[in-house]
């Protein structure tokens, strides 16, 4: 593998219209040219196989596999998830999974909580970190992480939008906090960035989902824009972008064990 200079800790390279090679190839090339390693999320079973094919062809791309709460969670699905995590060295995490209350608490909330618990069980069985989706449900998520001993494996809460107090609670459980493009310009996200310890900070694009950093707002989001995320977070913290790049890259390499053969 070439030197990892940046880690985009959360992106979606496979899915919907973004699956076709003509769309994805130039974006992968731009990321590779900048030394960007990409953690791509395959949170539904139909994305697992194309994602595994993708990571087998690129030594700078790694996968996180999971079963979204919108999917039917049958026992055999989780059994296959366990097998893939054990057999595929490029799989470095479990998820993304969590709870989302942005449209109110869903009627099937208990089912979603159970599915989060099942992912924690899988993560502990295969000894891989969790990637958590938090849609204004931080307290409930943290409670489940505590109850299910998720601290045994740790992980990251991606695109964190909770309070600094909630962030510190997650950190105590072994979870890193990941920031994306909007954290570089949107209040109160900017203020939150300043409160999270550097040793627990990750960066992400969540491409193509999130709005990219301000410098790239007229372009579709992609992993190479992680360079702009790093610059923006460094500016907020009043530090050298190169130093922040080094810290966040090492944090991600350590969490996802990207330096292991």
Is residue 158 within 8 Å of 186, Cβ to Cβ? Answer: no
- Read off the tokens for 67: 């079963």
pLDDT band for 55, please (50, 70, 90 cuts): very high
Q: Comparing 18-22, 29-33, 100-104, which segment has the lowest mean pLDDT?
A: 18-22
Q: Count of CB atoms within 10 A of residue 243's CB? A: 13
Burial class of residue 10 in the structure, from the number of CB atoms within 10 Å of its CB (0-12 exposed, 13-18 middle, 19+ buried): buried
Q: Alpha-carbon distance 155 to 141, whole Å?
A: 13
- Evaluate if residue 71 carries a pLDDT over 70: no
Phi and psi at 225, nearest 5°, equal -75, 0
Q: Alpha-carbon distance 87 to 171, whole Å?
A: 29
* pLDDT digits 0-9 by tens, 87-145: 999 999 999 999 999 999 999 999 999 999 999 999 999 999 999 999 999 999 999 99
Phi and psi at 65, nearest 5°, equal -115, 145
3-state secondary structure of 180: coil
Q: Comparing 70-84, 140-154, 165-179, which segment has the lowest mean pLDDT?
A: 70-84
Cα–Cα nearest to 153, from 123, 118, 115, 117: 123
- Read off the tokens for 38: 């990409």
Q: Alpha-carbon distance 102 to 4, whole Å?
A: 35
Q: What is the mean pLDDT of residues 196-219?
A: 91
As a residue count, the chain comes to 261
Phi and psi at 124, nearest 5°, equal -70, -35
- Read off the tokens for 209: 């989902």
- Evaluate if residue 255 carries a pLDDT over 60: yes
Is residue 90 within 8 Å of 64, Cβ to Cβ? Answer: no
Is residue 204 within 8 Å of 223, Cβ to Cβ? Answer: no
The domain 6-256 is placed in CATH, from the list 1.10.3660.10, 3.20.20.140, 3.30.930.10, 1.10.3210.10, at 3.20.20.140
Is residue 8 within 8 Å of 226, Cβ to Cβ? Answer: yes
Q: What is the mean pLDDT of residues 58-71?
A: 90
Sign of CA dihedral 206, 207, 208, 210: positive
Q: What is the mean pLDDT of residues 76-97?
A: 96
Q: What is the mean pLDDT of residues 66-84?
A: 85
Q: What is the pTM of this model?
A: 0.96
Q: Alpha-carbon distance 75 to 73, whole Å?
A: 7
Q: Alpha-carbon distance 255 to 131, whole Å?
A: 11
Report domain extents, the chain. 6-256
């Amino acid at each position: 593998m070439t030197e990892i200079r940046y880690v985009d800790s959360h992106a979606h390279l496979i899915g919907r219209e973004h699956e076709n090679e003509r769309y994805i190839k130039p974006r992968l090339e731009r990321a590779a040219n900048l030394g960007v390693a990409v953690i791509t999320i395959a949170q539904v079973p139909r994305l697992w196989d194309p994602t595994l094919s993708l990571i087998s062809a690129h030594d700078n791309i790694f996968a996180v596999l999971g079963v979204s709460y919108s999917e039917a969670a049958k026992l055999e699905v989780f059994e296959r998830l366990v097998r893939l995590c054990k057999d595929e060295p490029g799989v470095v995490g479990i998820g993304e999974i969590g709870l989302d209350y942005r449209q109110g608490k869903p009627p099937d909330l208990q089912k979603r909580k159970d599915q989060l618990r099942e992912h924690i069980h899988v993560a502990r069985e295969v000894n891989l970190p969790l990637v958590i989706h938090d849609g204004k449900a931080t307290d409930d998520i943290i409670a489940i992480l505590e109850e299910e001993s998720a601290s045994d494996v740790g992980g990251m809460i991606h695109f964190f939008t909770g309070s600094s107090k909630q962030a510190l609670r997650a950190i105590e459980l072994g979870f890193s906090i990941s920031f994306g493009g909007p954290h570089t310009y949107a209040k109160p996200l900017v203020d939150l960035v300043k409160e999270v310890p550097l040793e627990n900070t990750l960066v992400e694009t969540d491409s193509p989902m999130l709005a990219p950093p301000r410098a790239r707002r007229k372009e579709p989001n992609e992993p190479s824009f992680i360079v702009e995320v790093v610059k923006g977070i460094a500016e907020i913290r009043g530090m050298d972008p190169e130093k922040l790049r080094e810290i966040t890259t090492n944090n991600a390499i350590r969490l996802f064990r990207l330096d292991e053969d």
